[in-house]
Homo-oligomer: A and B are copies of this chain.
């Protein structure tokens, strides 16, 4: 189905443009590129005289558009360089004269190549298809409806190039106003496959020719019969592009494994003095229960906290897997050289005083030393890291020992402290907490690569402010999210501001929406804020993966039922349309004035047996895939009674191999707090005083499960 492509023609055109030191292709040049890749454009020609314009207009037939062609004039309309609906030879002749006069008036120094005479496309829907070069993600595709309205409403969607056919098709249907393309209010639907094919082709064009920095097909006229790009703008990169350093997967895994499961850890700058970072780190390693060798490194001590100390890392008798640096920044280079000589694979740089304080040079020096010596670096400017399966607390913060399925990472130390405090207060089960700080070397994709295959980790939650290499992150995330959820809190999402850009596509891309769409494309669950990230991290690993979209609400309070339903819609969950037989079954357990349907309102004041019977039915019926419970505190069914019966019924179902996600909202006096803790301990996500949060966590699990293809809808 793919058209033969004339790559040589594109290469020749681009080379010519770059040889002339130009950034922008002229319209005929852009047309040539489109032709070479089979991107449909309307019949047209270049007129260099009024007479040529007249004969072109006659040849094309019907109304035409005349546009100035000049390398210097990028904003043709502004220059009075566009006339629409020119019909017939005489009109075309006149249009030519007018346009050239306008253009000359607009910029007297502009070279006038001629006037492009093009068939006027009308009817159908105007859309924009484009590609830009994002500093983080490289080639990014954009799609949206054309016209001033959507420019204002910014209804566009982004994807990394290149795109497969199915991805391109999904992309054109991902805009808010997709209904317009499918034929809203009786209009003909446009040919979505043709649009998708054009998107795919452009995505391959910019991948094949990375020197194309931006391409803008705007407008593309989409009709029931196909798609045609009425105007094409192409910009090329004049400089060279550098690629970030990438390590092979096996290499990443080898080092990360030694970092997370070290046989020995050296603490450089270990100290006996209370309050020093080198003291805290050593104490935490020891008190945390780390079972490997611990080597304090300090030239002025023989023994620190009962462990033999060594003057330098090179003096350590055995192998060292991890060297934790607790020395001032200025001492890092020499000590790192020593680590290189010793063959230490991983250095954890706690000290600050590098790029974050403006000392970029020192950081570059350290990175160069590390690279030369084959040492991978965590940090600098971090609190360290925890890996609970090894009782490893390589940090100056207090130890943390509640093991569980989530690995958390943060770029900021403050956020790391919030992770620690939240974990402790909620007793969140954690596999790892890792500070990334300046990310001079090890970053999110290294960690994802490790956690993907780490059997102690079921879910990853990451706070990040930027990505060093967006492509590498997406690749790692895509692999991981096939198996385990990845939650990302992307900070700085609203502060990116507008970027100066040479095209619509470029301007549209200067926006957080690129991150949003690309993270979604990678299957990542984006958390809207810090608290949500923490709650998703706490809840996702304990919730089983739902097997389908049918969500049922069972509630003792009608008021909660309404709010829980609202939350379902907000979180993209589908309230199951209860079939009559199932409705009948539920009705048997609830008072006559209760409401079956969905939410199932068992009414307030019911005894434990009503909760129990309805929850059991919800678990047993295979058509139901997830339960949301609304509890109302009464004397008849006190909070702990509800919690215990729910945990028991869910536990019994699990024992029979039925493991559905169950979340609960508890409305009541303060005893509900303890009941929620009990439920969490029994793998039921439960919150007091909120109807939104349990549903948001379930919604996050669903978002992941859908993108991982586990729901099969």
Contact = CB atoms under 8 A, between A and B. Distances in A.
Interface stretch (A3-11, A161-169, A555-563): A555-563
A421 B177 contact: no
Q: How many copies does the complex hold?
A: 2
A555 B418 CA distance: 14
A633 B421 contact: yes
Given A149-B145, A358-B593, A491 B563 contact: yes
A529 B567 contact: yes
Contact of A148 (B184, B420, B569, B668): B184
Contacts of A147: 149
Contacts of A410: 559
Contact of A557 (B414, B489, B667): B414
Contact of A530 (B415, B558, B671, B690): B690
Which one of A147, A185, A560, A566 has the greatest number of beta carbons of chain B within 10 Å? A566
Contacts of A593: 356-358
A200 to B, nearest CB: 25
Interface in A543-567: 555-560, 562-563, 565-567
A465 B492 CA distance: 36
Nearest to A689: B422
Contacts of A688: 418, 421-422, 425
Contacts of A673: 421, 425
Contacts of A671: 421
Contact of A415 (B77, B569, B667): B667
B151 A417 contact: no
A412 B558 contact: yes
Interface in A169-196: 176-177, 179-180, 184-187
B633 A417 contact: yes
A669 B534 contact: no
A559 B412 contact: yes
A245 interface: no
Contacts of A591: 357
A670 interface: yes
A27 B193 CA distance: 42
Contacts of A567: 529
**A interface, size bucket:** 35 or more
A150 interface: yes
A292 interface: no
A472 B495 CA distance: 42
B151 A184 contact: yes
A80 to B, nearest CB: 12
Contacts of A152: 176-177, 179-180, 184
Contacts of A179: 152
Contacts of A667: 414-415, 417-418, 421
Given A563-B530, A669-B421, A635 B275 contact: yes
B491 A414 contact: no
Given A180-B152, A417-B632, A593-B356, A670 B424 contact: yes
A670 B419 CA distance: 10
Interface in A660-713: 667-673, 688-693
A571 to B, nearest CB: 11
A632 to B, nearest CB: 4
B149 A689 contact: no
A177 B147 CA distance: 12
Contact of A149 (B149, B414, B528, B529): B149
Contact of A690 (B411, B529, B633): B529
A413 interface: yes
Nearest to A512: B566
A35 interface: no
A397 interface: yes
Contacts of A150: 149
A593 B689 CA distance: 43
Contacts of A184: 148, 151-152
A689 B559 contact: no
A494 B570 contact: yes
A531 interface: yes
A130 interface: no
A630 interface: yes
A221 to B, nearest CB: 16
Contacts of A691: 529-530
A166 to B, nearest CB: 24
Nearest to A534: B689
A153 interface: yes
Interface string A395-418: 001100000000000111111011
Can you list the 5 inter-chain pairs with the closest CB atoms, starting with the nearest?
Answer: A412-B559, A414-B557, A357-B593, A494-B569, A418-B667
Interface of A: 77-78, 145, 147-153, 155, 176-177, 179-180, 184-187, 275, 352, 356-358, 397-398, 410-415, 417-418, 420-422, 424-425, 463, 465, 489, 491-495, 528-531, 534, 555-560, 562-563, 565-567, 569-570, 591, 593, 604-605, 630, 632-633, 635, 667-673, 688-693
Given A417-B632, A422-B688, A530-B563, 5 more contacts: A153-B177, A412-B559, A413-B604, A420-B668, A530-B692
